[in-house]
Homo-oligomer: A and B are copies of this chain.
């Protein structure tokens, strides 16, 4: 069986498996065995490549974040005008892959873990900052900087809030409705500023 060059293959398989298992069970309290089984290898191999569970978990958040960043970059490049870019940012946050119950459960688990692990926390802070700065960058073309910062803060909060509420699956607001709500927030605040600038 043993072929050479398996390391990157196994690493990826294990990280993906970790994400799926964590999403399934909605917690980081999954066993290395669970993860390894899902990846089709022995638990010992997972330790061999990652050294510890902690490390595998860290690689897993990193992977989750990388995915989101790549999607964001793509979406941002596809848009041209600032207002379009704002819509792109909103859409990416709620795109199917991000909004799937499993993914949401995984995010939630990592947020909780961030209370303990400085490493995990750092990654999530990066996410939060990136979203905020992307929003601000495009908003400030359309309005004064301090308003841009305020609106960005609100929009980011709303996105995260819709996300967390989704995790309860109580009154499932759909993807479309979530996007509409956030778009509406941005639009109405920009309109408001526009009116204030040029009172009828």
Give the chain B neighbours of A156 by CB distance below 8 A. 161, 165
Q: Is A79 in the interface zone, CB < 8 Å from B?
A: no
Shortest Cβ gap from A90 to chain B (Å): 13
Give the chain B neighbours of A192 by CB distance below 8 A. 188, 191-192
The majority secondary structure among interface residues of chain A is helix
Give the chain B neighbours of A26 by CB distance below 8 A. 112, 114-116
Are B167's CB and A111's CB within 8 A?
A: yes
Give the chain B neighbours of A114 by CB distance below 8 A. 26, 167-168
Q: Is A73 in the interface zone, CB < 8 Å from B?
A: no
A159–B165 Cα distance when bound, in Å, is 11
Contact of A158 among B108, B121, B157 (CB under 8 A): B157
Chain A residues numbered 82-107 whose CB sits less than 8 Å from any CB in chain B: 105
A163–B111 Cα distance when bound, in Å, is 12
* Size class of the A contact interface (CB-based, 8 Å): 35 or more
Spot the interface stretch: A43-51, A57-65, A124-132.
A124-132
A129–B158 Cα distance when bound, in Å, is 17
A188–B121 Cα distance when bound, in Å, is 34
Q: Is A171 in the interface zone, CB < 8 Å from B?
A: yes
A164–B168 Cα distance when bound, in Å, is 14
A57–B107 Cα distance when bound, in Å, is 22
Give the chain B neighbours of A162 by CB distance below 8 A. 157, 161
